Copies of this chain bind each other. A is one copy, B any other.
Amino acid sequence: MDQIYFAADILGTVAFAISGVLVAMEKRLDLFGVGIIALVTAIGGGTLRDMLTGSTPVTWTTTPIYMYVILGAVLFAILFQSRLRFLRTSLFLFDTIGIGLYTMVGIEKGVEAGLEPLICITLGTITASFGGVLRDILCNEIPVIFRKEIYATACILGGLGYFLLLKTPIPQAYAYLSGVALVIGIRLLAVRYGIALPDIYRKHIG
């Protein structure tokens, strides 16, 4: 089980680091700017989660492998930039894979800390979305979380699905992977079919 958690964490780090490089390169930032956006995107969500739960020193300060993985992903993305040139599509895919993995990583940290499911899902959503929010604020884009498409809602629904599956006889590892797949699937379907949240404003009929 621990290997699955670790693999999800590293894969999410790679996916978010590449999504950060893609946004930063579209903004024509210099080498340092690209590196810092990749770093902030990849570790921003987990850092806030660790600071909220008091799990300090935060993970990346004591486990330097995250920094090396991010540096490697930045080099890779810069060297193969021409292969990633359909930026919007690549960005969407890497970002979606990232939120799927990070939602479950964050939920699991909450479960380990003995927190309630509602709080765990909130922490999972923060882990998944805060890095992208920082990336978009620093690059002067509208934060993903406030765009029309379903985003954090996918994290919340995937997290709910995971806690429901835990109540069935399904082994935990499968429930975990199903949670990841749920978040990714819901976001892909929502964007593909233009699904949005219900309107809350009173219509003026006249």
Q: Please determine whether B64 and A53 come into contact, CB atoms closer than 8 angstroms.
A: no
Residues of A161-206 whose CB lies within 8 A of B? 196-202
Q: How far is the CB of A6 from chain B (nearest CB, A)?
A: 19
Q: Chain B: which residue is nearest A137 at the CB level?
A: B137
Q: Please, how many residues of chain A have a CB less than 8 angstroms from a CB on the other chain?
A: 47
Which of these binds chain B: A11-19, A54-62, A95-103?
A54-62
Q: How far is the CB of A117 from chain B (nearest CB, A)?
A: 10
Q: How far is the CB of A24 from chain B (nearest CB, A)?
A: 10
Q: Quick check: is A34 within 8 A (CB to CB) of the other chain?
A: yes
**With a CB–CB cut-off of 8 A, which chain B residues contact A86?**
none
Q: Quick check: is A122 within 8 A (CB to CB) of the other chain?
A: yes
Q: Please determine whether B200 and A57 come into contact, CB atoms closer than 8 angstroms.
A: no
**With a CB–CB cut-off of 8 A, which chain B residues contact A58?**
52-54
Q: How far is the CB of A139 from chain B (nearest CB, A)?
A: 10
Q: How far is the CB of A29 from chain B (nearest CB, A)?
A: 7
Residues of A93-135 whose CB lies within 8 A of B? 110, 113, 115-116, 118-119, 122-123
Partner of A57, one of B53, B57, B64, B152: B53
Partner of A202, one of B57, B82, B110, B113: B82
- Chain A contacts to B: CB under 8 angstroms: 25, 28-34, 36, 47, 51-54, 56-58, 60-62, 64, 67, 78, 81-82, 110, 113, 115-116, 118-119, 122-123, 138, 143, 145-146, 148, 152-153, 196-202
29 contacts between A and B (CB under 8 A): A25-B200, A25-B201, A28-B201, A29-B146, A31-B197, A32-B197, A33-B146, A34-B200, A36-B145, A51-B56, A52-B56, A52-B57, A52-B58, A54-B57, A54-B58, A57-B115, A60-B119, A61-B110, A61-B115, A61-B119, A61-B123, A62-B115, A64-B118, A64-B119, A67-B118, A67-B119, A78-B200, A138-B143, A138-B146
